[in-house]
C-alpha cells in the first residue's frame, strides 16, 4: 500500500528526521535570538565582540559536529560499540579539547586584527581571554552532549548523521553566546596583572594538551587533518564577522535583524553538516561513489533540504520579528522579515548542497577523512556565505 511505501521511503525518512532535528534547532535558536537581543546594549562596551561571534559559534559547530560525524561513522562501521570504551573514545575526547584551545586563541587573534582594521578599540589580551574562557566553558558541556546525542539516536534506530549536526549546533548556539558575554564581563572586571596570569595559564595549558594529544595515533591524525582546515575556516568565519562589524551602525538601526543571524547561520551550517555526515558515511561504506555527475540519492537529499528550508527560514523571520518587537528593537515589517529570511535561506541551501557533495567527495578521493574536514569547511563557508546572503537580501528588500 502507498502509506507503507511512504513510511519506508528513504526520502521520507530523511525528511522526517532532518526536519525534526532542524525544527528543534530553530526553536532552540529562540534562546540565542533573545540572548543577542538582550545583550545588544552591551555590544557598545566591546563592539569587537560582534566580529568574534560568528567564528566562535562556527568553531563550536566545526569541532563538535565533526566529532558527532566521526561517532556516526564509527557506529555505522562497528568500530565503536555503545557501552564499551576504547581508544577511539579517549582520543576523540582529547583531540576535541585540543582543537578547542587552539582555535579559541586563533580566532581571537584574527578578530582582534579585523577590529583594529575597522577602528574598534580592544586589546589582543582581552580578545584572547574572552574567546578562550568561552571556549573552555562550552567544551565541558559540548563534549558530554555530543556523545549523548550520537549514542541515544543510534540506540533508538535513528540515523545519527541526520541528528547530530543540527542538535549539536543548537547546543553550541544556546551556550556560546551567553558564555561569550559572560566571559566578556569577567575580563572587563580584571586588572592587568590578573589578565596576564590568566593568559599565561591558557597558553601553557593549550601547549601541554596539544603535545599530549599528538602522542596518540588517532588524536594525532584528527589534529593533523583538522587544524590546517580549521585555521582556514576560522579565517572565513571571521570574514563574516567583518561583514557584521563593517555594518555595525546600519545593523543597530534595524537591530531585530541581528536576532536572526545566529539561527540563520546555524541552520545553514546544520544543513551542511547533515549532508556532509551523510555523504561521509555513504562514501565509507561504499553506498555512494563520487563523480562529476551527482548521483540520484544525493539529489534526493538536496530536494529534502530545500523542502526543509521552506519551513524553517520563514519561521526564523517570524521569530526575529516578534523577538525584536518584544525587546523593543527596531525592525522591518513581519512580511519583509519573512521574505528576507526565506529568499536568503533558499539561496544559501542551493549553495551548500553543491558544496557539501564536492567537498566530501574530493576529500575522500584525496585520502582525507571527510568526517574531519567536510563539516568545518562547510560551516565556515556558510558563515561567510550566509551572512552575505542575509545582509545582502536585507539591504535590497529593506531599502524598498
- Considering 9-18, 33-42, 103-112, the range whose residues carry the highest mean pLDDT is 103-112
Over the stretch 21-56, which tens digit does the pLDDT of each residue have?
Answer: 677 766 666 666 666 666 666 666 677 787 888 788
Compute the distance between CA of residue 117 and CA of residue 106 in angstroms, rounded to an integer. Answer: 17
Integer Cα distance of 296 and 152 in angstroms:
30
Higher-confidence residue of 134 and 69: namely 134
> According to the per-residue pLDDT averaged within each range, which of 2-6, 8-12, 168-172, 343-347 is highest?
343-347
What DSSP character marks residue 41?
G
Q: What percentage of the chain has pLDDT greater than the value 90?
A: 13
Domain boundaries, the chain: 2-398
Higher pLDDT, 160 or 6: 160
What pLDDT was estimated at residue 6?
28
pLDDT at 398: 62
Give the mean pLDDT of the chain: 79
Residue 323 vs residue 115, higher pLDDT: 115
Can you tell me the mean pLDDT for 195-213? 91
Looking at residue 231, its pLDDT comes to 86
Question: What is the pLDDT at residue 198?
Answer: 93
Higher pLDDT, 269 or 14: 269
Q: Which residue has the cell 546555524?
A: 266
How far apart are the C-alpha atoms of 368 and 340, rounded to whole Å?
37
pLDDT number for residue 331: 63
Distance in angstroms (rounded) separating the CA atoms of residues 227 and 245? 26
Rounded to an integer, the average pLDDT of 133-155 is 86
pLDDT band at 2 (very low <50, low <70, confident <90, very high): very low
User: C-alpha distances in angstroms, 71 versus 68, 296, 331, 372, 398?
Assistant: 5, 26, 41, 11, 43
Q: How confident is the model at residue 241 (pLDDT cuts 50, 70, 90)?
A: low
Neighbours of 156 (CB within 10 A): 9
| Pairwise pLDDT comparison (58 vs 304), residue with the higher score | 304
- Residue 166 has a pLDDT of 67
C-alpha cell at position 354? 553543491
Buried b / exposed e over 229-242, threshold 16 CB at 10 Å, is bbeebbbbbbbbbb
Least confident of 112-126, 150-164, 174-188: 150-164
* Three cell numbers written together for 358: 564536492
Cα 97 → chain centroid: 17
From 66-70, 242-246, 312-316, 332-336, the region with the lowest mean pLDDT: 242-246
The pLDDT of 366-383, averaged and rounded, is 77
Among all chains, which residue has been given the C-alpha cell 549523548? 148
- 351 against 384, higher pLDDT: 351
Q: Which residue has the higher pLDDT, 162 or 273?
A: 273
Amino acid at each position: 500500500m502507498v502509506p507503507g511505501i511512504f513510511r519506508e521511503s528513504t526520502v521520507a525518512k530523511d525528511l522526517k528526521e532532518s526536519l525534526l532535528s532542524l525544527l528543534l534547532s530553530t526553536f532552540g535558536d529562540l534562546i540565542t535570538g533573545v540572548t543577542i537581543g538582550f545583550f545588544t546594549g552591551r555590544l557598545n562596551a566591546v563592539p569587537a565582540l560582534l566580529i568574534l561571534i560568528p567564528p566562535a559559534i562556527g568553531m563550536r559547530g566545526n569541532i563538535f559536529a565533526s566529532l558527532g560525524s566521526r561517532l556516526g561513522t564509527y557506529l555505522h562501521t562497528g568500530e565503536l560499540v555503545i557501552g564499551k570504551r576504547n581508544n577511539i573514545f579517549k582520543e576523540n575526547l582529547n583531540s576535541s579539547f585540543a582543537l578547542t584551545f587552539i582555535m579559541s586563541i586563533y580566532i581571537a587573534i584574527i578578530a582582534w586584527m579585523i577590529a583594529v582594521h575597522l577602528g574598534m578599540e580592544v586589546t589582543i589580551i582581552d580578545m584572547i581571554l574572552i574567546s578562550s574562557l568561552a571556549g573552555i566553558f562550552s567544551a565541558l558541556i559540548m563534549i558530554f552532549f555530543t556523545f549523548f546525542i550520537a549514542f541515544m539516536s543510534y540506540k533508538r534506530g535513528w540515523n545519527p548523521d541526520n541528528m547530530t549536526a543540527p542538535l549539536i549546533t543548537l547546543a553550541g548556539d544556546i551556550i556560546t553566546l551567553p558564555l561569550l558575554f559572560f566571559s566578556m564581563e569577567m575580563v572587563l572586571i580584571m586588572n592587568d596583572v590578573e589578565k596576564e596570569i590568566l593568559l599565561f595559564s591558557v597558553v601553557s595549558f593549550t601547549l601541554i594538551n596539544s603535545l599530549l594529544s599528538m602522542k596518540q595515533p588517532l588524536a594525532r591524525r584528527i589534529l593533523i587533518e583538522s587544524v590546517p582546515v580549521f585555521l582556514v575556516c576560522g579565517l572565513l568565519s571571521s570574514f563574516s564577522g567583518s561583514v557584521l562589524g563593517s555594518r555595525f551602525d546600519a545593523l543597530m538601526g534595524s537591530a531585530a535583524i541581528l536576532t536572526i543571524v545566529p539561527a540563520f547561520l546555524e541552520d545553514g551550517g546544520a544543513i551542511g553538516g547533515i549532508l556532509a555526515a551523510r555523504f561521509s558515511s555513504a562514501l565509507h561504506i561504499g553506498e555512494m561513489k563520487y563523480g562529476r555527475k551527482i548521483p540520484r540519492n544525493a539529489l534526493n537529499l538536496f530536494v529534502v533540504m530545500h523542502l526543509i528550508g521552506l519551513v524553517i527560514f520563514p519561521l526564523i523571520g517570524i521569530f526575529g520579528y516578534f523577538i525584536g518587537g518584544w525587546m523593543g528593537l527596531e525592525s522591518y515589517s513581519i512580511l519583509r522579515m519573512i521574505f528576507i529570511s526565506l529568499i536568503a535561506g533558499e539561496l544559501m541551501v542551493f549553495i551548500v548542497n553543491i558544496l557539501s557533495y564536492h567537498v566530501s567527495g574530493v576529500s575522500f578521493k584525496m585520502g582525507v577523512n571527510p568526517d574531519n574536514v567536510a563539516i568545518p569547511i562547510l560551516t565556515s563557508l556558510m558563515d561567510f556565505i550566509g551572512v552575505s546572503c542575509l545582509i545582502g537580501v536585507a539591504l535590497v528588500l529593506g531599502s524598498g
